[in-house]
Structure 1
């Protein structure tokens, strides 16, 4: 049944994409519906943006509409790959690059230079190695390249591959072993256009990445320079943060497309994530928009994590989501109720935290929650809060639950802020104390403000515990669970 449903969903999506593709073809080429439908039978591309992008790219490369319609396969891949293959062929001496050659790129890529010259794709007088090398920027030192070792009997791709390795060894000041490892890990570099490769290195250095960092983070080399330039121009100050500085700490941000930056920022805003929180964790943009959306939704359905949403470091739970879930499960098995964000998200071992039985919050987590609930800067309540001996020992969920209870009873945030310690107590305890205060006719006449009333409630609770602060534990084990289904 599940497979059947997935098949139906796939067919619906494909039908939807086909309709959009049909409209694009009609607008771009003026095709009638029957002609457009016939053309679409050869199209595997389901992404409408890429589909229209390929049409635009083919036109930019100089192909006529008739040529594009003759070779529909050109529209099945990412536009940037079309451009890269075209540039590489151009760099390698191809004097005329037709749609057929571009479509069958891999076939010609594997041919010997001699065969390519026999087929009149490369002129006989062209030295392919020197043709590739002429596009290096900056040009390597004279002793770096030995063009005599290249012959027309070699495969065109082997010449390209070996030249790239020689150049990168010189340009990145790396060892042969490091370059071999880079090529082994990052296969996309093998087919990279010389111009795009050089531009990526230039942009990486411009951002502030060192040559050593580029060697260690080889994925930088198969970025798409046009995207990087657009990102550095349009998103350099995203959420008020410094993107260049963030790239130094997380080079993968160098590769993210402008569209993904915009999509992810939009998703974060839909989930009411503040700019302060976003700029505190700009490496959130290294994830895909789908991943960010899924993880945020999963966190919202996990109360223990969602309670940390107003913490400026909240997005660490999204970036390190699997670790956070695993640690949450582990700590819950140990029946720990206070779950600091730093323990959940950081890669530091939690052995000490567990071994010492430290079932307490971090002060900054508590302050972040109270700042969000009360709408006040912590300077207005931190000193008062810290006077309570157990201000770090109460689960954040219960603090929020108590606040919601007080608000429902019409208490104002200003009054709660002045008696902030009241939020450490279970709602059932507060209700019982409030009932006791109201039933006392003398106290009822004396108390005129919410501040006085909350102070009196706090006094009533702690009087029974000799003002030790132990009132926070009274009936607290199931307070949230019990009252979440019976709030009055």
Structure 2
């Protein structure tokens, strides 16, 4: 037992939660160095590195002159951090809204905005009745939406004759919302509040949301209030008609209302199946996948394929499809830089190590400090409570799942058959899969065929040094004479007989108890195992407590709007 203290579980959980956050930051700083030092096992695939934006690129892709863009980049150097394709997409969206290049040059910081965000904000302003919609209004969207209708009309952003409430009600095409039902709304209220009330009425009517559902929506998924009514309608239509989501399913995953309907249609159209499973069924099980871009999903699927991982692994860890393609690619490369992870490459659940890589790295590092070798994929990527229990109990063993899967793959045998063979050895679950792999590679380097290794599969559980020692002994004539073998030379033995003799020579020293798998370091008794627990830095032992996020003071409705 590592600890007898009843509070050890909570202590371990606190340590790992805090240390994981620290590790996430630390790993980002050392990511490039790790990738450069790690062996190249990615078949030439690498994380794309884009050139920074420069005046020549902006002139070619957007227009205007080199001199103007150079002066803008000097004044706004942060623009260089924008991805090139993102800048092109944003400008393309702005031109679709009838903004010319000269107008964009007057407000170049708008390039920081995502193209879809700009399109959505433009649609919101259009639904509210803003005329005309300028680039300044778009860039000050959050400020504008928090002002009252009367103030916006007084400043001329909305014509006086426009009935904002009627415009918003008429934005819904598939339901009828009467202005008369919103008698409590008036032009002295913020546009944000008016839109929220109308959207509530729509969601009650279409999705049968109740008061609790509405309250949760604005508490948890408050960003939905900034989506245009046109976008929300399109998403609801896709979910109800194309994907056949029940209303309860949509309410439970209300973040989907913030998604993009066109992207959702592309996902189910361009990615028909994954490992034979219908994409509609997959996104029903993991609705969050619909929030990933279709292009990103296609890249992720391609990256996984390039690294030799079967599509079936994706269906066992659908969360991998919620990560960005560049993140997945980086983690796949890192997977091959850690021996304990690399050996699990053929495991059908290997993508769990990709999805939970930061957590798995941290746990592996901690167990190494405890001299615990048998860290299974399940322990490294599973829940915190299970890991804390594993560390607390201090039993350096697994259920053998990783070893069975690894050997079944390389030997092309049935998993049940491999497990039945290994189960004959009393201590086989105490040997980590990495040691089994190293022993297998050693025997293969000595030209032993897979069939002979399979017939003597228990030999893979023993230390390489001990196997090599007995192999050298067999080359000595005295050893053959002592064994009274009916052969004069070791080369008269076939591969199967040689491996059997090695196993015999090892275990005869331990009276055939199976204890020959232990090294001298492992057989040394530990007087006080509690002292082996590594201490964490004080800075990592502090618990980050999530309190209630302080609400920002609402801007006064009478504060003048300053749009620059």
Say whether the fold is shared (TM-score over 0.5). Answer: yes
Alignment of 1:364-403 (within 5 A): 364-378=401-415, 381-403=418-440
Residues 408 and 418 in structure 2, CA contact (< 8 A), matched pair in contact too: no
Find out whether 1:456 has 2:501 as its counterpart: yes
Question: Which of 434, 438, 442 matches 2:471?
Answer: 434
Find out whether 1:172 has 2:207 as its counterpart: yes
- Other-structure match for 2:457: 420
Task: Tell me the CA shift for residue 130 of structure 1.
Answer: 2.3
Distance 1:399 1:56, change over 3 A: same
- After superposition, the C-alpha distances for 1:164-206 in whole angstroms (9 at most, x for unaligned) are 2332344333332432332133232121101111222333344
- After superposition, the C-alpha distances for 1:285-311 in whole angstroms (9 at most, x for unaligned) are 212345434544555444334432321
Residues 88 and 192 in structure 1, CA contact (< 8 A), matched pair in contact too: yes
Residues 252 and 286 in structure 1, CA contact (< 8 A), matched pair in contact too: yes
3-state DSSP of counterpart to 1:148: coil
Deviates more, 1:72-81 or 1:272-281: 272-281
Question: Which of 196, 206, 225 matches 1:190?
Answer: 225
Residues 55 and 75 in structure 1, CA contact (< 8 A), matched pair in contact too: yes
Distance 1:423 1:218, change over 3 A: same
- Other-structure match for 1:37: 70
Residues 130 and 147 in structure 1, CA contact (< 8 A), matched pair in contact too: no
Distance 1:94 1:445, change over 3 A: closer
Task: Tell me the CA shift for residue 377 of structure 1.
Answer: 4.6
3-state DSSP of counterpart to 1:149: coil
Alignment of 1:51-450 (within 5 A): 51-117=87-153, 121-136=157-172, 138-139=174-175, 146-205=181-240, 206-238=242-274, 241-269=277-305, 271-347=307-383, 348-350=385-387, 353=390, 358-378=395-415, 381-439=418-476, 440=480, 442-443=486-487, 444=489, 447-450=492-495
CA–CA distance in structure 2, aligned partners of residues 415 and 291 of structure 1? 42
Question: Which of 84, 108, 111 matches 1:48?
Answer: 84
CA–CA distance in structure 1, aligned partners of residues 229 and 420 of structure 2? 61
Residues 380 and 417 in structure 1, CA contact (< 8 A), matched pair in contact too: no
- After superposition, the C-alpha distances for 1:380-404 in whole angstroms (9 at most, x for unaligned) are 6443333222222212121111112
Aligned-residue CA RMSD in angstroms? Answer: 3.4
Distance 1:17 1:418, change over 3 A: same
Equivalenced residue count is: 464
- After superposition, the C-alpha distances for 1:384-425 in whole angstroms (9 at most, x for unaligned) are 333222222212121111112112212222321232222111
Deviates more, 1:364-373 or 1:422-431: 364-373
Give TM-score, length-normalised by structure 1: 0.82
Residues 373 and 403 in structure 1, CA contact (< 8 A), matched pair in contact too: no
Distance 1:253 1:430, change over 3 A: same
Task: Tell me the CA shift for residue 149 of structure 1.
Answer: 2.4
Residues 347 and 405 in structure 2, CA contact (< 8 A), matched pair in contact too: yes
CA–CA distance in structure 1, aligned partners of residues 325 and 408 of structure 2? 29
Question: Which of 48, 52, 68 matches 1:17?
Answer: 52
Residues 171 and 230 in structure 2, CA contact (< 8 A), matched pair in contact too: yes
Identify unmatched segments of 5+ residues in structure 1.
Answer: 1-5, 479-488
Residues 114 and 152 in structure 1, CA contact (< 8 A), matched pair in contact too: yes
3-state DSSP of counterpart to 1:389: coil
Residues 59 and 66 in structure 2, CA contact (< 8 A), matched pair in contact too: no
CA–CA distance in structure 1, aligned partners of residues 362 and 100 of structure 2? 55
CA–CA distance in structure 2, aligned partners of residues 297 and 66 of structure 1? 44
CA–CA distance in structure 2, aligned partners of residues 61 and 110 of structure 1? 23
- After superposition, the C-alpha distances for 1:415-472 in whole angstroms (9 at most, x for unaligned) are 2123222211111221122223332274436844322222222233233334332322
CA–CA distance in structure 1, aligned partners of residues 177 and 147 of structure 2? 29
Deviates more, 1:437-446 or 1:196-205: 437-446
Distance 1:319 1:445, change over 3 A: closer
3-state DSSP of counterpart to 1:392: helix
Distance 1:92 1:343, change over 3 A: same
3-state DSSP of counterpart to 2:375: coil
Distance 1:328 1:26, change over 3 A: closer
3-state DSSP of counterpart to 1:339: coil
Residues 92 and 131 in structure 1, CA contact (< 8 A), matched pair in contact too: yes
Residues 426 and 475 in structure 1, CA contact (< 8 A), matched pair in contact too: no
Deviates more, 1:446-455 or 1:423-432: 446-455
Which protein, 1 or 2, shows the higher relative CO under an 8 Å CA cutoff with sep ≥ 6?
2
CA–CA distance in structure 2, aligned partners of residues 446 and 408 of structure 1? 17
Give TM-score, length-normalised by structure 2: 0.72
